[in-house]
Structure 1
Amino acid sequence: MKILELDQGNTRAKWRLIDTGTGATDPAVLARGGFAPGPWWEVSETPAAWGEYAPQRVRVANVAGATVEQSIASHVQQLLGVQPEFARVTPECGGVRCAYRDESKLGVDRWLAVLAAYRRRPAPALVVDCGSAVTLDLLGGDGQHLGGYIVPGLGLMRRALYSDTDAVKVAPPDSPPASLDPGCNTRDAVDRGLPVMVLGAVERVYDELAHRCAVSGDASPRLLFCGGDGEILAPLCDRPGEWVADLVMEGLAVTNP
C-alpha cells in the first residue's frame, strides 16, 4: 500500500511517501521532501510524486493547531480524494504509557517520536526533537514515558539575541560549526554558544537517565536525535547518539497502523 505521511511542525512541514507492501520489516521510502515555511496547502504546485504514486492513505502529525488541521484535511481530500488520518496522543499506545495526566496537552510529535523509539527497540531512551523548540523526552525500558523538557531551539535563541541586543545581531551560518571551542569573535561566540546551550541540557538529562537506569538495573539509554537541527547537534554531542530523520513519521505507523 502507498501511504503519504506528513509531519506538520510549527514552522514548516516535511513529507515522505512509503510502500508497506514490499514484505520488508520497514516500509520502502519512495519519495520525500519538505515545504518552505508557511501555508504550503495554498501553493498551486504540489509535489509530483503525490500524483505519480497516488497514495491510498494519508497519515498526519500536526502540532500547528486546529485551523491548520482543517486546511490540510480539505487540501488533501480535494487533491488526492483521501481523508487524512491525524495522529492523536492517548494514555497508552504501542506498549508506551504517557506520563502526562492530561495526555491531550502533550505535543503529538513528541509522542510519535517516543513511540517510534520504543518500536525500534523496547529499551530506555532519551528522544531529542530539535525544531523551533527542542524537546527532550525520557523513556523507561518498561515503556513508561517519564516526562520531558522543552527549551528554545537554535533559531529561536538566535532571533532572541538579534531582536533584544544591540551588538549580537548574527545571521545564521552557512554550515554547522566545526568546533565548539570558545569563540574569539562575536559570530563564533554565537554560532558555538547556541549548540552548547542545547547540548548542555541534552547531556545533563541523558546522564540523569543513565543514572536512573543503572540504579534500576536497566541497560544504558539510547540517545536519539530528530528534527531539522538534530542532524547538526547529534555529531557535536559528547554522549553516544544518532540522528533519525523520520522518527516522528515512523511513529505514525504505531498510532495509525
Structure 2
Amino acid sequence: MPAFRLLTLLADGRAHHITELARAIERVPQQLNSIWQQVPAHLQPLLRQRDGVWQLSRPLAWLDDAANLAPFALTVLRETTSSNDVLLNAARNGESIHRKVVVAHRQSAGRGRQGRTWQHRVGECLMFSVGWTMSVAQSQVGAVTLVVALACQQALAKLGCEVQIKWPNDLVIGLDKLGGILVESVRHNGQTHLVIGIGINFLSSPNVEQIAAVQAACTSKPTAHDVLNEVVQQLNDLLPQFEQQGFAPMQAVYEAAHRDQQQDVVLLNDGVLQHQGRVLGIDDTGALRLQTQSGEQKIVSGEISLRRPEQCAVPTQPTESHYLLLDGGNSRLKWAWVQNGEILQTHAAHYRDLTALANDWQRHSQPHTRIIGSAVCDAEKLQQVQAALPLPIQWLGSMEQALGIRNHYRHVNEHGADRWFNVLGSRKFTQNACVVVSCGTAVTVDALTHNNHYLGGSIMPGFYLMRESLLRRTAQLNRPEGEYYEFPTTTSNAITTGMTDAICGAIMMMHARLQQRTHTQVDIIITGGGALKVAKALPERFVLDNNVKIVDNLVIFGLLNWINQQ
C-alpha cells in the first residue's frame, strides 16, 4: 500500500525530497499529494512542504520492519488484535519467543492491567511486546513487571526524558501517564515464557487528558526506533540479573525512580477506598510498603489503583464504614473488624465458648457497626453466635452474581456460602483463572475463569473426616496420625500420605480441566487449616510451573470485597 510505505519513510521526522520519496514507493512526485490523503486524517496536518522537501513536524510511533534491534528479532504488523496475543499463541504452540519483538501500529484488542483496554490512534502510541524465556517460578512473575518498568524508565532517561515510575508499572511525568506495562506468561517445559506488553505515548493527543508524551517530554527528539531499541537493550541487561538474583538488588534503584516514595497516597478498588497512608518503599518481592494508621501494610498489585490525594475527590466508601465480618465454619467461628475497607484484626474461637467474641464487641464496636456473615454451620451454632452479639446479624448466602462474577451452580440455594465467598475473595489476589481450594472439615475445589465465570467444583472429605471414616470402618487401621512421605513405609504414614495425595490429585485435575477450558494461566489459591499441608505436598514441578498462594481467612476477604461494592 503506497500510503503505508510513504508514512514509513516520513515517520522519522527528518527531511525527505519528493523525488526520493516517489522513487522509494515506485510512484512519480506528482502522485504524492493524492497518496498522502490516504493516511489517517489526524496525521495529515503534521506534513510540512517546502521547495520539494517533505517533513513531518514530529516523528511518529511508526517503525520499518527492516529496523535492526540485534540481538532481538523484530516483526512489525500493521494491525493485530494484540501484540501480546501474537507471542502468547506462539509460546502455547511450543515456538521459541525468546528475544522476539512484535510491534503493532494498530491493535483492535490492546489491553492493560486490570483488564483495561488500551486507547490509541495510529502513530501516536508506540505499542510492542517482547518475548523472554527464563527459569523462574510462576510466583515470581509479578516482580517482573517492576523490573520492566525500571528498564523503561532507565531507557527513557538516556533519551532525555525525566520519567518516573508509579507503582507497580506505570511510567509517569508528574501526575500524567506516559506509558503502561502488562506482563503475561506461559509455563512450558519447565520454563516461564514471558510476554511483556509495553505501551508508550509517543505524541500528545487532544482527545486524551492527563497524558504525557515522549516527543513533548524529551530534550532530544528520539524516533520510535530510538525508544524501542533503548528499551529492549535495557531489558536485555536487567532480565538476566533478575533471573539470577531476584528483585532485591534492584530494589533501591526502583525506589529512587518511584514517584510516590515517602509520599501520601490512597489505594482504590473500583473507586472504593481500600487503604491510605504514606509509602515507605518497595519490599524485595515488589510489594508496596504502606504506613497506615493501623500499622505497616504490604500491598500486592491485584486490582488496586494508586492515586495521590490531590487526584481524588473524597473517595467512595461503603455507607457504613465499620463492620464485624463473620465466617461461620463447621468447626470454628472466625471474625474480623473492618474500618473504611481495611481489615484491622482477626480472631477465631470454637462455638462452645464465644466469650472472646462478646468481649471483642465490647472493646471494638462503634454506634454504626454492622454485622455481616457467611455460614455453613448448623442452626444451633448460628443461634450461639447471635446470642453473643447485641445486634442482628445479616447472614449472606450464595448469589447468582456478584462483583461481576456469574455463578453457574444449577441451584444457587444449595451452593455453600463459604465456597461463594472464597471465590469472591480470590479476586483480591489474582485476576487470572484460578482454582480455589478450601481445606477445612470438608475440602472444596472450585473453578473460576479469567473472565469471571464460576463454573462450579468438587467436594470431598477433609483430613479429619477421611481419617475418621477409615478408623471406624476398618479393623487394622486404628493407628496414630502419621506424616506425609513420598513413599511411606508405615501404616500411619501411608494413611496420611493417601489422604493428602487424594486432595492434591483433586486440585491438579481441576487445574488441568480449567486450563483446558480457558487456554490461559490458571493460579491456585488455597485456604483453610489444611492449606499448608496440601501446598507442601503438591509436586515441586507443579508448584514451579504455577502460581500457588496460601491465603488465610479467604471468606473474610470475600465478604470484604462484597461490602466494598455495595
When normalised by structure 2's length, the TM-score is 0.39
Conserved 8 A contact 1:3-1:17? yes
Conserved 8 A contact 2:375-2:417? yes
Equivalent residue for 2:561, pick from 230, 254, 257: 254
Please tell me whether residue 33 in structure 1 is matched to residue 342 in structure 2: no
What SS does structure 1 have at the residue aligned with 2:432? coil
Q: CA deviation at 1:20?
A: 2.6
Task: Answer 1 or 2: higher relative contact order, Cα 8 Å, separation at least 6.
Answer: 1
For 1:33 and 1:67, locate their aligned partners in 2 and report how far apart those are by CA, in whole Å. Answer: 21
Q: CA deviation at 1:2?
A: 3.8
Q: CA deviation at 1:46?
A: 4.1
Could you report, residue by residue, the CA deviation over 1:165-218 in whole angstroms, capped at 9, with x for unpaired residues?
Answer: 111113345xxx4x531211111111222111111111111122122222xxxx
What SS does structure 1 have at the residue aligned with 2:418? helix
Q: CA RMSD in A?
A: 2.1
Q: CA deviation at 1:67?
A: 4.1
Please tell me whether residue 97 in structure 1 is matched to residue 406 in structure 2: yes
For 2:338 and 2:481, locate their aligned partners in 1 and report how far apart those are by CA, in whole Å. Answer: 33
Q: CA deviation at 1:237?
A: 1.5
The equivalent residue for 2:363 is 52
Aligned amino acid, residue 213 of structure 1? T
**CA 1:46/1:138 → structure 2, altered by over 3 Å: closer, same or farther?**
closer
For 1:195 and 1:168, locate their aligned partners in 2 and report how far apart those are by CA, in whole Å. Answer: 17
Aligned amino acid, residue 400 of structure 2? P
The equivalent residue for 1:12 is 332
Match runs of 1:70-109 below 5 Å: 70-77=383-390, 82-109=391-418
Please tell me whether residue 229 in structure 1 is matched to residue 530 in structure 2: yes
Could you report, residue by residue, the CA deviation over 1:63-95 in whole angstroms, capped at 9, with x for unpaired residues?
Answer: 113443344234312xxxx32221221110011
For 1:124 and 1:46, locate their aligned partners in 2 and report how far apart those are by CA, in whole Å. Answer: 36
For 1:233 and 1:46, locate their aligned partners in 2 and report how far apart those are by CA, in whole Å. Answer: 30
What SS does structure 2 have at the residue aligned with 1:121? coil
The equivalent residue for 1:24 is none
Could you report, residue by residue, the CA deviation over 1:8-58 in whole angstroms, capped at 9, with x for unpaired residues?
Answer: 11122222223336xxxxx1433x22223x4444xx554644322125122
For 1:96 and 1:40, locate their aligned partners in 2 and report how far apart those are by CA, in whole Å. Answer: 36
Choose between structure 1 and 2: higher strand proportion: 2
What SS does structure 1 have at the residue aligned with 2:486? coil
Could you say which structure has the larger radius of gyration? 2
Conserved 8 A contact 2:361-2:389? no
For 1:250 and 1:106, locate their aligned partners in 2 and report how far apart those are by CA, in whole Å. Answer: 18
Conserved 8 A contact 1:7-1:14? yes
**CA 1:231/1:59 → structure 2, altered by over 3 Å: closer, same or farther?**
farther
Aligned amino acid, residue 237 of structure 1? L
Conserved 8 A contact 1:2-1:53? no
Aligned amino acid, residue 230 of structure 1? A
Please tell me whether residue 170 in structure 1 is matched to residue 503 in structure 2: no
Q: Percent identity?
A: 25
For 2:490 and 2:516, locate their aligned partners in 1 and report how far apart those are by CA, in whole Å. Answer: 37
How many matched pairs?
236
For 2:471 and 2:524, locate their aligned partners in 1 and report how far apart those are by CA, in whole Å. Answer: 31
Q: CA deviation at 1:103?
A: 0.7
Equivalent residue for 2:496, pick from 174, 191, 208: 191
Conserved 8 A contact 2:439-2:529? yes
**CA 1:231/1:20 → structure 2, altered by over 3 Å: closer, same or farther?**
farther
When normalised by structure 1's length, the TM-score is 0.83
